[in-house]
Amino acid sequence: MTEPRKTRVVIAGGGTAGWLAAAVLTRQLGSLLDITLVESEEIGTVGVGESTIPTVRSFHALMGVDEAEFMRTTGATFKLGISFEGWTRPGDRYIHSFGDVGKSTWMGDFQHFWLEAKDRGIAGDLGDYCFEHQAAAQGRFATGPESRINYAYHLDAGRYARYLRGRSEAAGLVRREGRIERVERDPETGLIAALILADQQRIDGDLFLDCTGFRSLLIGEAMGVGFEDWGHWLPTNRALAVQTTSTGPAVPYTRAITHDAGWRWRIPLQHRVGNGLVYASDFLSDDEARARLLASIEGDRLIEPGLIRFRTGRRLKAWEGNCVALSLASGFVEPLESTSIHLIMTALTRLMQAFPFDGISPAVVARYNDQSRAELEGIRDFIILHYHLNEREEPFWQRQREMEVPETLKARLALFAEGAQAYQAQDDLFRVASWLQVLVGQGMQPRQYHHMARLMPDAALAGALGDLKRNIDKAVAALPTHEAFLDRYCRERQPAQAA
């Protein structure tokens, strides 16, 4: 019997998207595929996706990643959530943590008990009842085989791509150096037949993954898939990024700090700090943004600030013909909730589950596109929420408060405002605890809530909340500082040096 022909997969572009695709496909389907990755050293990558969410850990398990090795190689730190500073009004702060909040029942979620207790004057802040929130606020962290703490990572995007490249090439992946000059399509089927490089190399394939970033060379330019612009909801369209030396211990959370035309980030790594300023060019010039970013940083500057121009929105299809777009090529929702790497990973997971070994199925492609659209629109609504619920006085923030939001978000806001209800739909990334923390953090006060907690006398309700808080406080107090655990975790798992 002759061996079946392998499906030829061509990955157009490197960076985080391209090398994640290479790493997981070689690991999970490598014996069935012939994978080639094409990238050019002449073309830089965006490279500021340095913050992740907990789903990254499950995807790393698919790739067989050793956590300590990955963290040493990429300079990663642990992340328990995001500190939002000034988002409701200047000077305020809340943490959107990765943990569950309180304890819920079949009849209703924890917020109904908490709101009743607040009305009686016997409840603390919402974050008092979340382990990850308290650990983040106190700069503490630990994990291990028996740990149930919910966490993600801060990482160096450049080092991460190199780490993934090393794993992929060791597994047999072929990398071709070169700039893509044109995309050749079959005149009869319209499918992509090959990539033609500047030196006239020809890369034939059966399935092409577009990882060319905002350029979207394959699915946008070659396949002609249109773009749906979301700039009327999310008008930020510029980011400046700069790296600095560390000036203190790395905290286990990202900082998202507002300014009058957007926000800035601070991401602590083991060897440096990532800083950036996100802004709307209609409200702030590039020169003003650069000056503002440089005035806000701590430590010595390691590189010159890099300007990134972007447009928030999505390709009308993430999969067209035999081309699947990943990451920035398929759409972009600004980096506020660190979803960029997650979206690459979920797209790859869906692709592996519906891989076209026997040719392209229109029904499978349609389902893939529906899931991709629903996922991105859900993230879009969650990001808009942060901007829309504010009490700031600057023109940019007034515009965001007064704008009409998507009907899907409008319904969620009404549900919480009228009855303190939050939910996670089938295609939603963010859980009830995430919606709850951000809605409350942004200052929304429900007019009503479920009355089940009224069945509890003051002593019983106060006792239940008090026990929950004391147990969390005790567990957090037993944790080492994030910096101490990180140092020990990476050092103790350092491979033995040859004599």
The residue ranking higher by pLDDT, 3 or 418, is 418
pLDDT reading at 328 higher than 90: yes
Are residues 252 and 135 in contact, defined by beta-carbon separation less than 8 angstroms?
yes
pLDDT reading at 297 higher than 80: yes
pLDDT reading at 236 higher than 50: yes
Query: Residue 254: which H helix or E strand, with range?
Result: strand 254-259
Mean pLDDT of the chain: 94
Q: What angle do CA 471, 474, 477 make, to 5 degrees?
A: 150
Q: Give the closest residue to 131 by CA, choosing from 154, 149, 146, 114.
A: 149
Number of Cβ within 10 Å of residue 67's Cβ equals: 17
pLDDT reading at 104 higher than 70: yes
pLDDT at site 499:
26
Q: At what angle do helices 15-29 and 157-170 cross, to 10 degrees?
A: 30
Mean local confidence (pLDDT), 454-466: 96
* DSSP SS3 for 453: helix
Are residues 333 and 236 in contact, defined by beta-carbon separation less than 8 angstroms?
no
Tens digit of each residue's pLDDT (9 = 90 or more) over 239-262: 999 999 999 999 999 999 999 999
How many CA atoms lie within 13 Å of 11's alpha carbon, on the beta-carbon side?
31
CA 464 vs. chain centroid, Å, equals: 34
Amino acid at 184: E
Structure-token pair, residue 165:
């490249």
pLDDT at site 146:
83
Mean local confidence (pLDDT), 332-336: 93
Percentage of residues of the chain with pLDDT beyond 70:
96
Q: Strands 202-204 and 207-210: what pairing?
A: unpaired
Mean local confidence (pLDDT), 149-159: 95
Q: Strands 323-325 and 319-320: what pairing?
A: antiparallel
Amino acid at 33: L
Residue 41 pLDDT level (bands cut at 50, 70, 90): confident
pLDDT reading at 289 higher than 80: yes
pLDDT reading at 495 higher than 70: no
pLDDT at site 320:
98
Q: Give the closest residue to 373 by CA, choosing from 259, 227, 194.
A: 227
Mean local confidence (pLDDT), 362-381: 97
At a CB cut-off of 8 Å and minimum separation 6, what does 423 contact?
A: 412, 415, 432, 435
Q: Give the closest residue to 197 by CA, choosing from 342, 362, 350, 12.
A: 12
Query: What radius of gyration do the chain's Cα atoms show?
Result: 24
pLDDT reading at 267 higher than 70: yes
* DSSP SS3 for 177: strand
Q: DSSP secondary-structure letter at 51?
A: B
Number of Cβ within 10 Å of residue 370's Cβ equals: 12
Mean local confidence (pLDDT), 19-24: 96
Q: Strands 254-259 and 262-268: what pairing?
A: antiparallel
pLDDT reading at 49 higher than 60: no
Q: DSSP secondary-structure letter at 50?
A: -
Q: How far apart are CA 310 and CA 49, in angstroms?
A: 14
The burial of 443, by beta-carbon neighbours within 10 Å (0-12 exposed, 13-18 middle, 19 or more buried), is given as: middle
Mean local confidence (pLDDT), 162-169: 94
CATH number of the domain located at residue range(s) 7-50+156-229+312-360 in this protein: 3.50.50.60
Mean local confidence (pLDDT), 378-388: 97
Q: Give the closest residue to 109 by CA, choosing from 467, 420, 483.
A: 420
Mean local confidence (pLDDT), 323-345: 95
DSSP secondary structure, 399-448, as one string:
HHHHSPPPHHHHHHHHHHHHH------TT-SS-HHHHHHHHHHTT---S-
pLDDT at site 48:
60
At a CB cut-off of 8 Å and minimum separation 6, what does 94 contact?
A: 83, 84, 87, 88, 127, 437, 440, 441, 442
Mean local confidence (pLDDT), 138-152: 93
pLDDT reading at 299 higher than 80: yes
Residue labelled with tokens 């340095």:
50
pLDDT at site 491:
77
Residue labelled with tokens 């492609």:
365
Residue 153 pLDDT level (bands cut at 50, 70, 90): very high
Q: How far apart are CA 388 and CA 383, in angstroms?
A: 9
Residue 498 pLDDT level (bands cut at 50, 70, 90): very low
pLDDT reading at 496 higher than 50: no
The residue ranking higher by pLDDT, 288 or 144, is 288
Q: How far apart are CA 209 and CA 293, in angstroms?
A: 35
The burial of 43, by beta-carbon neighbours within 10 Å (0-12 exposed, 13-18 middle, 19 or more buried), is given as: middle
Structure-token pair, residue 241:
């990024």
pLDDT reading at 164 higher than 50: yes
Residues in the chain: 499
How many CA atoms lie within 13 Å of 30's alpha carbon, on the beta-carbon side?
16
Q: Which residues are catalytic?
A: 79
Tens digit of each residue's pLDDT (9 = 90 or more) over 386-441: 999 999 999 999 999 999 999 999 999 999 999 999 999 888 999 999 999 999 99
